[in-house]
Chain A
Amino acid sequence: MDDNELNKILKARAVPPMRSNLEHRIVQASLASGKNQDISSGNGISAIFTAVFDALILPKPALSMALVLVFGLVLGGYSAGVSEASTNIDVDAYFLTAETIGYGDIL
Chain B
Amino acid sequence: MPDLNDMTDEDLMARVQNADHAAFSVLVHRYTNLFYSAAYRMCAQQNDAEDIVQDAFLKLWNRPQIWDASRGAKFTTWFYRVVTNQAIDFMRKKKPAAAADTLDYVEDTRDSQQDMMESDEQSAMIEMLIQSLPERQKTALNLCFYEGLTNKDAAQIMGVGVKALESLLMRAKSGLREELHRRGVLKQDDNGAGESTYYG
Q: Is the CB of A10 within 8 A of B126?
A: yes
For the complex, give the distance between the alpha carbons of A33 and B194 in Å. Answer: 51
Please tell me the number of chain A residues within 8 Å of chain B, measured between CB atoms: 33
For the complex, give the distance between the alpha carbons of A51 and B29 in Å. Answer: 27
- Asked whether any CB of chain A lies closer than 8 Å to the CB of B171, the reply is no
- Asked whether any CB of chain B lies closer than 8 Å to the CB of A104, the reply is no
- Asked whether any CB of chain B lies closer than 8 Å to the CB of A23, the reply is yes
User: B54 touches which one: A3, A10, A26 (CB < 8 A)?
Assistant: A26
Contacts of A1 in B (CB 8 A): 189, 193-194
- Asked whether any CB of chain B lies closer than 8 Å to the CB of A91, the reply is no
Contacts of B66 in A (CB 8 A): 54
Q: Is the CB of B186 within 8 A of A2?
A: yes
Stretch of B31-39, B97-105, B149-157 that contacts chain A: B31-39
Contacts of A29 in B (CB 8 A): 54, 58
Q: Is the CB of B187 within 8 A of A13?
A: no
B199's nearest neighbour on chain A, judged by CB, is: A3
The 0/1 profile, CB within 8 Å of B marked 1, for residues 11-25 of chain A is 011111011001101
The 0/1 profile, CB within 8 Å of A marked 1, for residues 170-182 of chain B is 0001001100100
Given contacts A10-B126, A14-B123, contact A26 B32 (CB under 8 A): yes
If over half of A's interface residues share one DSSP class (helix, strand or loop), that class is named, otherwise mixed; here it is: helix
User: B130 touches which one: A5, A13, A37 (CB < 8 A)?
Assistant: A13
If over half of B's interface residues share one DSSP class (helix, strand or loop), that class is named, otherwise mixed; here it is: helix
- Asked whether any CB of chain A lies closer than 8 Å to the CB of B17, the reply is yes
Q: Is the CB of A31 within 8 A of B28?
A: no
Q: Is the CB of B194 within 8 A of A22?
A: no
- Asked whether any CB of chain A lies closer than 8 Å to the CB of B21, the reply is yes
User: A18 touches which one: B36, B123, B127, B199 (CB < 8 A)?
Assistant: B36
List residues 42-80 of chain B with CB under 8 A from any CB of chain A. Answer: 46, 49-50, 53-54, 57-58, 61-66, 68
Contacts of B54 in A (CB 8 A): 22, 25-26, 29
- Asked whether any CB of chain B lies closer than 8 Å to the CB of A89, the reply is no
Contacts of B126 in A (CB 8 A): 9-10, 12-13
A32's nearest neighbour on chain B, judged by CB, is: B58
Least CB distance, A51 to chain B, in whole angstroms: 5
A53's nearest neighbour on chain B, judged by CB, is: B66
Name which of A1, A7, A13 has the most chain B CB atoms within 10 A of its CB. Answer: A13
Least CB distance, B197 to chain A, in whole angstroms: 8
Please report A residues at the B interface, Cβ cutoff 8 Å. 1-3, 5-7, 9-10, 12-16, 18-19, 22-23, 25-27, 29-31, 33, 35-39, 50-51, 54-55
Give 8 pairs: A residue, B residue, CB < 8 Å, sorted on A: A1-B193, A6-B199, A12-B119, A12-B126, A13-B130, A16-B40, A19-B50, A23-B29
